[in-house]
Structure 1
């Protein structure tokens, strides 16, 4: 099923399921006192999302959905009053009026189908990162959210953390001048350079494999190859390390510099094998300039074992080792190192650290950040609660689909470039297509009917 058919079918199906009383939830609608949530995907990340959302005192978890009976059982034990489902379509169809918001924490390839159906039913959506599996899906999700004026949020929890907000303020204050280059890295390995499996294993009785595959191509089940982990490595389901850690680490520089989408992208990686993402990627983007950059911006991403490669921009004072993951802003007044995560940014000029305590204090005061709290367990729920509060008519979200779809598009262009190693691809933001026609086939998927 082609993208257009999928989108039309999804929209038509959702429209047919609408029941009286489904109201659009805008970014600043009337205040409510309770939010009834439905959760699609209850595995490792999904259970954490459910825990964080449910920790808000106004939330009532009313529906749970997972294709794995074990995950569903564990979630139901925490929320015994919620109804349980294996198929999210049935959940949305049967509980339309009883759901106020939907949380999606499935593998990447199901983000768009589930989110779009919920949004077509006028439900606010919190969707895990990356927002979608294909560029066409990210754009469609942003379009529907805007058209319906829905509260939306992508699950990049660190977006709301102290040090990332601080770094954004510092960069926009001009602390390193106009930024001409960003270098970002993660040594995580969500790639797979091996061959596709040639054998299969019995499908566990607890797993609905057909529904797990969803709209992705049919494939034999292989134990520990796809579900519940390692699916990020496979092109049909995940988005590699770029889609996992890249979204988090790109977020602050992307937001701080007010970037849009790139003009060009090139990925230095091994030849594509049609099955797994490359284990090492060196992706270079060229972005149009903004008020915080030079005439253009060069962005270099390194991932996989051994990342990043040595470069003068990444040399630290006193021979120090780089943080395991992070980013460096390089401007005409110096460099700003931003570790990932929960570490204060540090400025480097002429090979020496600079005392920027005064600038940090001013930035923190401007944002009313208060004292730094570097505790993931206490800080992580803030991003989720921001979504809940927005649904209740109290404020807005900082990573709505209008923003996160563009950020996701940047990420996905890098994964598409991995299909054409060493070739510079030219992106036309207006048309949403590459100048190189061969690359355009990877902007959307062939959707299997289920």
Structure 2
């Protein structure tokens, strides 16, 4: 669980009374000169292409990326937008004129960059996962509640039609109470899988990359192309593997549809344990207790490759194994009367029900739509929240709790041990190793918050 949330109304009341020190209004509450919002981007290579191209109706104030070569193609499309390497300089110069910032960097930099942006009073869209440890997630959520800014975590499926249909169908009982869910992905993909018992060998640094800034608040290590720009997610120092990549989308659907909190336990079977890299494949079983109208639940996670075959699940009720094997990323929600099948990492299309006769019955008597729909997609939800002075549907309170839940799977993969999580004390009750890994290893000179935000965070568990 994350820190006790503070309501936006209470935050704004405190700010208005001036009892929190320096008074500012979150950018979303300031009058905008036009329909365009003024956006900045931290992280402009790779996946950032989608974020940048998706906001062409807005005003681009500035870009920031530590790797000019990786960001070059996106920079070339917007040659008049100022560019920076250092996010601190970017924020110092442009925070007063920004309505929001979109952060799409490697996972290990999510915590310091999101915290810097919120300390500057900026609304923040942050790519998933929220961070690499539960400690960071809780502090990000606490800072968001304290500052009152508009936030959104980047699980695009959260705002899609299919996710809402899935919940409406399950709550109407189309397959009966769901007791088992299967989730699977080919990531880490076969042709880029890395497994190592040592750090990568040092290579000459590229002039276009500021390696010190890329490391952020993490301890020094020599540069290697096996880290940046693409393969960092395979290394525990920078990412948390497939489960905190594709798994964030999938577990978001499970949490949204079935109201799951933290599991009672996560039991792993993995290809091998390394201090440095993720396993080639992993099987995890998340066991959740009964919740209100929902019975106890098992979530079965499969990822990676065993030799030359993807690590697919087998024996899913009502689904032929050959159908499952034909899907790279998939989800299946099983109840006593059938299984809902989603051949995707997000519920981006209308779900299908097996056996086919059950699907025909549902189509003949479709469940009513009662959940609100999101206009403009996931980014649009955040932008609308900025204008309304509220957060998106996947705000940092929701995103922190979801990321912490998924990170328990990463802890099981990393240790090879069953994780039983005490959320109150942020400890794995049977694993001192996992408990230690729930907090990041940071540099002695790592960025630290200041002022009122620092005083608030000092009250949280260390």
Distance verdict in 2 for CA 1:84–1:195, change over 3 Å? same
Identify the residue that residue 323 of structure 2 maps to in structure 1: 320
Choose from 24, 37, 40 the match for 1:38: 40
Distance verdict in 2 for CA 1:22–1:420, change over 3 Å? same
Deviation by residue 1:69-122 (Cα, 9 ceiling, x = unmatched)? 234444443334432210111211222311221111000000111001111222
Residue pair 1:125, 1:151 contacting (<8 A) in 2 also: yes
Distance verdict in 2 for CA 1:413–1:359, change over 3 Å? farther
- Residue 435 (str. 1) matches residue 435 (str. 2): no
1:68-107 correspondence to structure 2 within 5 Å: 68-107=67-106
Identify the residue that residue 383 of structure 1 maps to in structure 2: 378
Identify the residue that residue 221 of structure 1 maps to in structure 2: 223
Residue pair 2:176, 2:337 contacting (<8 A) in 1 also: yes
Residue pair 2:267, 2:412 contacting (<8 A) in 1 also: yes
Choose from 389, 410, 413 the match for 2:405: 410
Alpha-carbon distance, 1:25 to partner = 5.1
Alpha-carbon distance, 1:366 to partner = 3.7
Identify the residue that residue 359 of structure 2 maps to in structure 1: 354
Q: TM-score, normalised by structure 1?
A: 0.84
Deviation by residue 1:350-379 (Cα, 9 ceiling, x = unmatched)? x9653145378444x445769xxxxxxxx9
Distance verdict in 2 for CA 1:31–1:362, change over 3 Å? farther
Identify the residue that residue 395 of structure 2 maps to in structure 1: 400
1:38-437 correspondence to structure 2 within 5 Å: 38-52=40-54, 54-55=55-56, 57=57, 59-189=58-188, 192-196=194-198, 199-223=201-225, 225-294=226-295, 296-305=296-305, 306-313=309-316, 316-317=319-320, 320-322=323-325, 323-340=327-344, 341=346, 342-349=348-355, 354-358=359-363, 361-363=366-368, 365-367=369-371, 382-393=377-388, 396-421=391-416, 423-436=417-430, 437=432
Counterpart-to-counterpart distance in 2, 1:198 and 1:50: 32
Residue pair 1:166, 1:360 contacting (<8 A) in 2 also: no
Secondary structure at 2:201 match in 1: coil
Counterpart-to-counterpart distance in 2, 1:143 and 1:395: 16
Distance verdict in 2 for CA 1:402–1:343, change over 3 Å? same
Distance verdict in 2 for CA 1:412–1:73, change over 3 Å? same
Identify the residue that residue 7 of structure 1 maps to in structure 2: none
Alpha-carbon distance, 1:324 to partner = 2.2
Q: Which runs of 5+ in 1 are unaligned?
A: 1-17, 371-378
Secondary structure at 1:304 match in 2: strand
Secondary structure at 2:173 match in 1: coil
Question: How many pairs were matched up?
Answer: 414
